Structure 1
Amino acid sequence: MRLRYSLLLILSLFIAVPRAAHALEITEYRALREPVVDRSGRHLWAVRSFKEEGVPHRLAVDPATLQSFDLPAADLAPRREADADFYATRLGRAVKRYTAGPHRLQNGGATRAETGADGFFLTVDLCPSKRPFERELFEAAAALSTGRAVPVAVMVTGVWLDSHPDEVAYLKGEVATGRLAVTWVNHSWHHHYDPKVPLADNFLLAPGTDLRAEVLHLEQQLLSRGLVPSPFFRFPGLVSDGAAMNLLSELSLVPIGADAWLAKGEQPRRGSFILVHGNGNEPKGIRLALPLLKGTGVHLLPLAAAFGD
């Protein structure tokens, strides 16, 4: 079983998958960490380099706002800062704090807002699934708009992304019309799971898993669809170990857990990271989330607002 999973993982990452219409060609994708400045004078950290339709690009993050950008490399100039300076930024502090030990097997990383937050953080997992998409959840969130886009963190897997082009188009449309502000969070490419295997050897901890490939391939496919990956990552099953956390630190990613997984009976409080599944796999969570979203005084916050200055 382990050898079979390893072979399938390797093959699926290198065999061409059907590309969405008008998908961008993203090649030569690799991780880095370089201080840069854009044409407006904004200080950023480039965390990935790649070519987009043959043109050199960078995935860059504003370390103060935690917003990501897909930018032509020609629009960026290097800055004189050491790698250690990264950890003095808001982003770097979050990466360091939430990837540091002691490491729990489940629900490591950030699980709620660092400071008092006047609202909730809605995180929606899109794991591999053939069940209907929970559009009603996103419609209920969008209905909270009072003239501004409603923030939602979408934890997307590559298998779901590849097999649900209409749903991806719907979410992009909601963003384009200003109803939703989606933070695209990496949830791995395959989201492997075997219900018969202990957690310590399951999900991304399954022997033979190439975690780096799981992370970077998903980012590459998001960019090919015009979606910019955020500097956040959610482990499938919320399962991780020290080696996985160390890799996230190397990749400049903040791990996102949850303290209000609704289907498990966890009650949200102000500042909670609410976890529901929007892929049809966990209807109980949706049944609990809808009354919450349709209640009075509900305020959803962007994931970046959970982290201190």
Structure 2
Amino acid sequence: MIPPARRLIALCFLGAALTACGTARQEHPASSPASPATGSPAPSRAPVLAPGPGGLTPVFEHGPRTRGKTVAFTFDADMTADQGPRAASGERFDNPGLIRALRELKVPATVFMTGSWAEQYPAEARDLGRDPRFEVANHSWSHYAFTADCYGLPTVDAGRMRADVERAYASLRAAGVPHPMPYFRFPGGCYDQRALRALSGLGVTAVQWDVVSGDAFATDADAVARQVLDGVRPGSVVVLHCTRSAAPTTEQVVRTVVPELRGRGYRFVKVSELIGETGTGR
């Protein structure tokens, strides 16, 4: 979850190394030989970016700017490992109304789901995972940060990063998600070279964004909608949240923004479509 007072900016200090990652594409292999089947991305032909220099996990921020007005809405299903008692006491980390709105508006989307969220809401995870309108991807198991000083999140040790991602894939499958995608979003969007190296060989593409919605902890839906509408460009990836207690305006934002963007000529796609187009022009 991204605190409201700060806008998350992707860490770009890797410079040319990460830029190189965004210019090549490969198909995800049937399985990851480095990890057990339950802890690997889905056996599929989903497009992924080629590894960066030295085999670093590649990072994707947006699709091509010159191939039509496409935009991908992504939703983080956040639940940090130590928030179980809060969920048990009635706090809602899901948002059925938002999912209903996406279906009513016929908006495809990519949901980055933590393993702990899938374990808390297995029926909803299974429902999303089996609906062809959505694709479910990995947001870690614990929602602990993969770097220090990441918006107050607890941190996961470097030696446990890979295992945390693998555990999330296992939790998604256990909840009934048949084909979790080979995409990973760092908790808080925080990563560095050590984190990218820790996940090397898993076959995942790290997915960031170029439009911060500002929906986390927001109470003014109109302000969030304006921020999205002002930021979207062809090929954009928008980060939103489907955690009702901490992002209560998101359903209304979606109902406002979707018809406006369609009126501007935009077509909504999943992240996989944007990644599939990457490498043929930016």
TM range (shorter): 0.5 to 0.7
Which string of whole-angstrom CA distances, capped at 9 and with x for unpartnered residues, describes residues 235-275 of structure 1? 00001111111233321111111111211645222211111
| 8 Å contact kept, 2:73–2:238 | yes
Deviation at 1:50, TM superposition (A): 4.3
Measured in 1, the distance between the counterparts of 2:169 and 2:139 equals 10
Instruction: Identify the match of residue 199 of structure 1 among 150, 160, 165.
Output: 150
Measured in 1, the distance between the counterparts of 2:112 and 2:127 equals 16
Measured in 2, the distance between the counterparts of 1:58 and 1:159 equals 17
Q: TM-score, normalised by structure 2?
A: 0.65
**Matched residue, 1:154:** 111
| 8 Å contact kept, 2:59–2:206 | yes
**Matched residue, 2:31:** 46
Structure 1 residues 115, 231: closer, same or farther in 2, change over 3 A?
Answer: farther
- Matched position secondary structure for 2:105: coil
Measured in 2, the distance between the counterparts of 1:304 and 1:204 equals 30
Measured in 2, the distance between the counterparts of 1:198 and 1:208 equals 14
- Matched position secondary structure for 2:269: coil
Q: CA RMSD in A?
A: 3.3
- Matched position secondary structure for 1:60: coil
Question: Which sits farther off after the overlay, 208-217 or 130-139?
Answer: 130-139
The yes-or-no answer on 1:301 pairing with 2:266 is no
The yes-or-no answer on 1:96 pairing with 2:52 is yes
Deviation at 1:290, TM superposition (A): 2.5
| 8 Å contact kept, 2:158–2:195 | no
The yes-or-no answer on 1:60 pairing with 2:25 is no
* Runs of 4+ residues deviating >6 angstroms: none
Structure 1 residues 257, 172: closer, same or farther in 2, change over 3 A?
Answer: closer
Aligned residue identity for 2:97: E
The yes-or-no answer on 1:143 pairing with 2:104 is yes
| 8 Å contact kept, 1:263–1:285 | no
- Matched position secondary structure for 2:243: coil
**Matched residue, 1:26:** none
Which string of whole-angstrom CA distances, capped at 9 and with x for unpartnered residues, describes residues 20-70 of structure 1? xxxxxxxxxxxxxxxxxxxxxx99443156468xxxx995342xx42xxxx
**Matched residue, 2:165:** 215
Q: What 5-or-longer segments of structure 2 have no aligned partner?
A: 1-26, 216-226
Which string of whole-angstrom CA distances, capped at 9 and with x for unpartnered residues, describes residues 271-299 of structure 1? 11111110112224444332012444452
Measured in 2, the distance between the counterparts of 1:188 and 1:172 equals 16
Measured in 2, the distance between the counterparts of 1:229 and 1:155 equals 10
| 8 Å contact kept, 2:184–2:207 | yes
Q: What 5-or-longer segments of structure 1 have no aligned partner?
A: 1-41, 67-90, 102-107
Which string of whole-angstrom CA distances, capped at 9 and with x for unpartnered residues, describes residues 200-224 of structure 1? 9x64744477111110011112223
**Which of the pair is proportionally richer in strand?**
1
- Matched position secondary structure for 1:227: coil
**Matched residue, 1:274:** 238
Measured in 1, the distance between the counterparts of 2:139 and 2:28 equals 28
| 8 Å contact kept, 1:232–1:256 | yes
Aligned residues: 217
Measured in 2, the distance between the counterparts of 1:190 and 1:140 equals 28
| 8 Å contact kept, 1:271–1:306 | yes
Instruction: Identify the match of residue 164 of structure 1 among 100, 121, 138.
Output: 121
**Matched residue, 1:189:** 141
- Matched position secondary structure for 1:300: strand
- Matched position secondary structure for 1:293: helix
**Matched residue, 2:204:** 253
Instruction: Identify the match of residue 113 of structure 1 among 47, 63, 86.
Output: 63
Higher CA-based Rg: 1
